Amino acid sequence: MSKVQGLLRSIVFGPVDSRRYGVSLGINLLPAARKVCLFDCPYCECGRTDRDLSAAPDWALFPPASAVLTSLRERLSETAHARAIDAITLAGNGEPTLHPQFLEVIKGLAAARDALCPQARIIVLSNGSTLQSEAVREGLMIADERVIKIDAATDEMLHAMNSPVCRLTIEELTANIRQIPTCVTQTMFIQGDVDNTTDAHVAAWIGILAQIRPHAAQIYTVERRPASPGVLPVAAERLREIARWLREEAGVPAIVYEATPREG
């Protein structure tokens, strides 16, 4: 896999062993070795967002839909174990739904999947910043699973955790996510310079998820090198405690992904 400081150079990457999705083939819809995202999270493994490019994207830098689909078909055709792929995951160097042909791309991905590895699920990882777009919402509904980020419960924490490039409030984000039926939420809990694990904030976050009513909630902490050195992981015990609280207070199924201990 070709990366520059955590950023991908290629459209298709993997397969990789994902702790959430099994054997996953990744799709990067963003420019090569550039991070384009409407969030600038301090914990992001891709580093800091190119805020100027993200605020006013140069669409010529994005891979065209035809190149994305050709790359996927070629990789699936040359992968001897294509039948073992569990998921095709849209993630990469930022926010995948920013691609100007997102709807066309995901329709093509679904067709290629059906033809070459029908057992694989299409999963889109999104921060929810583009959900006001009807085309984005339509594209997300083609995917088998829509995983939407919700790290904060207040505007103050939204700016601390996600530092949006665009104007966005937690009320707007919550309302947008509620338009996506049967979504799965994912929440990164961190401590250090920013801490979204306090009892007061977790209680407010549970209130937000009670409004969204996700199919399930994924809870995890930082595992790879973050953009900011002031980001610290959260103990597994605290993650499990938050998950129990969410289940008890909101009735939302919660799945905890603990950080994998590193050797050395």
Q: Structural domains in the chain?
A: 3-257 (3.20.20.70)
Work out the mean pLDDT of the chain and round it to a whole number. 90
Higher-confidence residue of 82 and 71: namely 71
Percentage, residues of the chain above pLDDT 70: 92
Our measurement of the distance from residue 42's CA atom to the centroid of its chain's CA atoms, rounded to an integer in Å, reads 15
pLDDT for the residue numbered 80: 55
Burial of 64 (0-12, 13-18, 19+ CB in 10 A): middle
Instruction: List C-alpha distances in Å: 156 to 151, 169, 192, 201, 239.
Output: 12, 9, 16, 11, 22
- Helix (H) or strand (E) holding 203, with range, is helix 199-212
* Rounded Cα gap, residues 249 and 254, in angstroms: 12
Structural tokens at position 93: 């160097």
pLDDT for the residue numbered 61: 86
Give yes or no for residue 3 having a pLDDT over 50: no
Contacts (Cβ under 8 Å, ≥6 apart) of 64: 101
Give the mean model confidence (pLDDT) for residues 2-16.
70
Instruction: List C-alpha distances in Å: 117 to 25, 26, 27, 69, 140.
Output: 11, 14, 15, 14, 20
For 230, which DSSP code?
Answer: T
3 state DSSP class of 151: coil
